[in-house]
Structures are given as C-alpha cells and as structure tokens.
C-alpha cells in the first residue's frame, strides 16, 4: 500500500548506549512537536533499555533497537543478547534502515552522533538523502573539550557527513554560553548550517503526571539527582556524608539513585539512608519533573537535561560536575556559574562532608536562574518547532512505491 496522508512524520534517532540524557532530550523534542502540530506523528529510534518506562504523548511512539553498553576500555558489547558486537550493530543498522524505509519521514533528526553508533546510521542517511528528506543533526550545547572531540570526529569521519549529508545542524544552546564546535576545524559550508536554538526548556505550567513518590516528603526538600546514576556514586556519597555529620541541616533530602546505579552500590547507600531520619531515597521516577517542580533546591551532576530543568523550573541549584570520561559537565557548569545561573561545587577527591553541608545550608537562599536575564535562554523548543516546520514544508511529497501504485 501507499503511505497514508495523516500528516507530517518526524523520525528521531538516539543511540542511547547508556544513561538517560539522549532519550529524555529526544522525548522532550517529540512532545513539543506534536503539541504544536496536531497532524504530526513522531517516531523515536532508541537503544535505551528503559524507554518503555516513560509515558509518551499521543502520536509519539518508539522503536527500541537492541541495546549495547560501553566497556571501560572504550569498546562496546551487547547489553542483553548473546551476540558479538558486530552482529548487534548490524541488527541495529538494519532495523534503523527498514524503519525509515517504511515510516518515510518528512524529517530525520539525529541526536549527537552524526553517523550513529559505530556508523550505524550512515546507510539510512544516504537513503533518505537520495529521497530528498531533510536531514538534521541536533547537538547539545557542549560535546567535550575541543582537544578531545576533534580527533574523535576525525577518527569517525564526521566532517564529510556534516558537509555532504546534513542539511542543517541545530545546537540546543546559546553561543555566548557554550559553542560545541569551538576549536574544531570544519569547512565554512558546515558552519553555515548551524543554528543555535536556545536551551530546550520544559513548560512549568504544563500538565504533568504526578509523581508516585511525592508523598515521601511533605515539607520543603532538596532533590538530589545524579541522572541515570551509573556514575553518580560520588555525589550521593558526599551528600549523605553531609547529613551524617550535620544533624541540623534545615531541609530534608530526597535522593534519586538513578536506574543505572549498580545494585551493590545502591544497597550500601540505602543502608545509610535508612539511618538518616531526614533523608529518603528512591531508585527512579519517570515523572521526576513533578519532584523537580516541588523541590526547594536541586543538587545534581550537571547533565544537559537537568540543567534545562533547573532553568525551566527556576530552582536554585548546586552542581557537582563530573570530569570523566568527558569534561562536558564541567564546561557547562563553569560557564553557567560565571553567568550567575547556578552554583558549582568541585569534587576535589577529599569530599569534606562539612563543605557539602555548608553548601546545602546555603542552597535554598541562592539566587534563582530567573534573576539573570539571558535573551533567548529557553527558546529551544519554540525554535525547534519553527525550524522543523520550515524543513517539512520544503520536503518533497512522500514517494509512492512503483509496484504498489495500482493497489
């Protein structure tokens, strides 16, 4: 049969080998697009093992490709299947291509990795390019130190893809805060494709499903979140040590371990939490936006999505950025602190509990992000809606497969 006429279609790819950042960013974009376009459908391609735990708006759905995980030596392995990584990647690439063939998107939006994980999106990009489908690369505000990102992109052969395949590059931030392409030598034709959208804000007035964990703390509280939790142990340890030494901290804490924290580590932390009357802990909350909105302050590691939520819900925040394996969080947090948007506490390895306790005492009295005026700071989703509409309007009409024209 031929493609239906039910409106525009957007396909979003996110490699999602680990963590929550890519998935939550793509989900926010998808929800914004369908909210602004009543006849649009958005399909997300993701490798996240927990994508099914999230709610999706009507006309947003997902296809989960087999998961992979990055090992400490930098190599990838299959997350669940008894397949070697090459077989897993071949399976992922085939699913991605066939999904694009059948879905026939009017716009293909790729998150962060220009060619996908180990180049798995290249064939799909080339196929859609031949069809005239607009191809867009979406980049967060910070990728990594230029000295590290430049050789990585050279090794992956990114420049030819940016030059020859992609029509546009959307940076989800502002150049006066961070420029993800700073220090990377690219052709001028690539720079001309770049549009800075502003940060992807979350609507604080939108109807949000209530968190099932909201009743755990009935008074003002601090929300402690290391994102996915796979590398958040140091932050949790430091916060718990502060509550252990300072029994008079004014506000209780709700700690969200994250779904990727190792069970053994989580069990140790839970034992410590159980001994602290002013601290509660949960593993994961798909409706964490409700907890963010209710909190009196946020303690976090400084990933992109958490930063956007801090700005959107206008919460005083204490950020403890990681520095490995990428310096992305440190770069973003330092620039944001210079502007007065948040406060940063650098992990010096010693993690003095009294130093953290002092910072937690001061957190509720900090300035809010809205006290600083940065034009266009949270215009990201509005800009993405506008840019997507422009791309789709310029896209060719869906092609009818010749062998099916008579059906």
Q: Judge if 9-201+378-404 and 214-371 fold alike in CATH terms.
A: yes
Give yes or no for residue 308 having a pLDDT over 50. yes
Q: How confident is the model at residue 382 (pLDDT cuts 50, 70, 90)?
A: very high
Rounded to the nearest 5°, which phi and psi values hold at 310? -60, -45
Give yes or no for residue 122 having a pLDDT over 80. yes
Please give the residue that has the higher pLDDT: either 294 or 403: 294
Output the pTM of the full model: 0.90
Give yes or no for residue 84 having a pLDDT over 90. no
Give yes or no for residue 281 having a pLDDT over 80. yes
- The confidence score (pLDDT) of residue 313 equals 95
Q: How confident is the model at residue 203 (pLDDT cuts 50, 70, 90)?
A: confident
Give yes or no for residue 402 having a pLDDT over 50. no
Average pLDDT over residues 150-161: 91
Average pLDDT over residues 4-32: 85
Give yes or no for residue 205 having a pLDDT over 70. no
Give yes or no for residue 247 having a pLDDT over 50. yes
Q: Which of 15-19, 99-103, 223-227, 328-332 has the highest mean pLDDT?
A: 99-103
Q: Which stretch of 137-146, 158-167, 259-268 has the lowest confidence by average pLDDT?
A: 137-146
- The confidence score (pLDDT) of residue 398 equals 57
- The confidence score (pLDDT) of residue 405 equals 40
3-state secondary structure labels for all residues of the chain: CCCCCCCCEEEEEECCCCCCHHHHHHHHHHHHHHHHCCCCEEEEEECCCCHHHCCCCCCEEEEECCCEEECCCCCEEECCCCCCHHHHHHHHHHHHHHHHHHHCCCEEEEECCCCCHHHCCHHHHHHHHHHCCCEEEEEECCCCCHHHHHHHHHHHCHHHHHHHCCCEEEEECCCCCCCCCCCCCCCHHHHCCEEECCCCCCCCCCCCCCCCCHHHCCCCCEEEECCCCCCCHHHHHHHHHHHHHCCCCCCCEEEECCCCCCHHHHHHHHHHHHCCCCEEEECCCCCHHHHHHHCCEEEECCCHHHHHHHHHHCCCEEECCCCCCCCHHHHHHHHHHHHCCCEECCCCCCCCHHHHHHHHHHHHHCCCHHHCCCCCCCCHHHHHHHHHHHHHHHCCCCCCCHHHCCC
> What is the length of the chain?
407
Q: Which stretch of 15-19, 29-33, 126-130 has the lowest confidence by average pLDDT?
A: 15-19
Average pLDDT over residues 56-60: 94
Q: How confident is the model at residue 403 (pLDDT cuts 50, 70, 90)?
A: very low
Average pLDDT over residues 17-36: 87
Sequence-separated (6 or more) residues with CB below 8 Å from residue 208: 287, 289, 290, 293
- The confidence score (pLDDT) of residue 17 equals 62
Average pLDDT over residues 294-318: 95
**What CATH number does the domain located at 214-371 have?**
3.40.50.2000
Q: How confident is the model at residue 144 (pLDDT cuts 50, 70, 90)?
A: confident
- Report domain extents, the chain: 9-201+378-404, 214-371
Average pLDDT over residues 127-132: 96
**What CATH number does the domain located at 9-201+378-404 have?**
3.40.50.2000
Q: How confident is the model at residue 252 (pLDDT cuts 50, 70, 90)?
A: very high
- The confidence score (pLDDT) of residue 401 equals 43
């Amino acid at each position: 049969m031929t493609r239906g006429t039910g409106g525009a279609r957007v396909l979003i790819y996110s490699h999602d080998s680990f963590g929550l950042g890519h998935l939550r960013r793509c989900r926010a974009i998808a929800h914004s697009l369908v909210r602004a376009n009543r006849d649009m459908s958005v399909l997300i391609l993701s490798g996240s093992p927990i994508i099914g735990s999230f709610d999706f708006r009507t006309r947003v759905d997902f296809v989960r490709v087999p998961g992979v995980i990055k090992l400490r030596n930098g190599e990838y392995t299959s997350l669940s299947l008894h397949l070697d990584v090459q077989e897993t990647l071949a399976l992922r690439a085939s699913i991605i291509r066939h999904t694009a063939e059948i879905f026939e998107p009017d716009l293909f939006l790729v998150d962060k990795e220009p060619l996908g994980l180990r180049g798995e999106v290249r064939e799909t990009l080339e196929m859609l390019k031949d069809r005239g489908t607009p191809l867009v690369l979406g980049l967060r505000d910070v990728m990594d130190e230029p000295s590290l990102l430049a050789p990585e992109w050279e090794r992956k052969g990114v420049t030819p893809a940016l030059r020859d395949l992609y029509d546009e590059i959307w940076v989800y931030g502002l150049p006066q805060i961070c420029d993800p392409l700073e220090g990377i030598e690219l052709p001028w034709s690539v720079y001309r494709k770049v549009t800075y959208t502003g940060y992807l804000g979350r609507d604080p007035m939108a109807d949000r499903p209530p968190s099932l964990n909201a009743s755990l703390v009935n008074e003002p509280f601090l929300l402690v979140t290391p994102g996915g939790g796979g590398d958040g142990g140091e932050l949790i340890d430091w916060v718990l040590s502060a509550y252990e030494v300072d029994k008079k901290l004014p506000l209780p804490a709700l700690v969200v371990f994250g779904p990727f924290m190792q069970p053994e580590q989580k069990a140790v932390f839970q034992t410590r939490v159980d001994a602290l009357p002013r601290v509660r802990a949960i593993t994961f909350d798909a409706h964490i936006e409700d907890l963010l909105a209710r909190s009196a302050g946020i303690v976090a590691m400084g990933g992109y999505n958490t930063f956007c939520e801090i700005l959107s819900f206008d919460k005083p925040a204490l950020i403890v950025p990681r520095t490995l394996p990428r310096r992305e969080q440190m770069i973003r947090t330092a620039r944001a602190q210079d502007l007065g948007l948040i406060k940063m506490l650098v992990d010096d390895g010693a993690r003095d509990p009294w130093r953290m306790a002092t910072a937690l005492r001061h957190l509720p009295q900090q300035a809010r992000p809205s006290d600083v005026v940065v034009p266009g700071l949270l215009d990201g989703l509005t800009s993405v809606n506008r840019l997507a509409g422009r791309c789709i309007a310029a896209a060719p009409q869906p092609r009818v497969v010749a062998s099916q024209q008579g059906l």
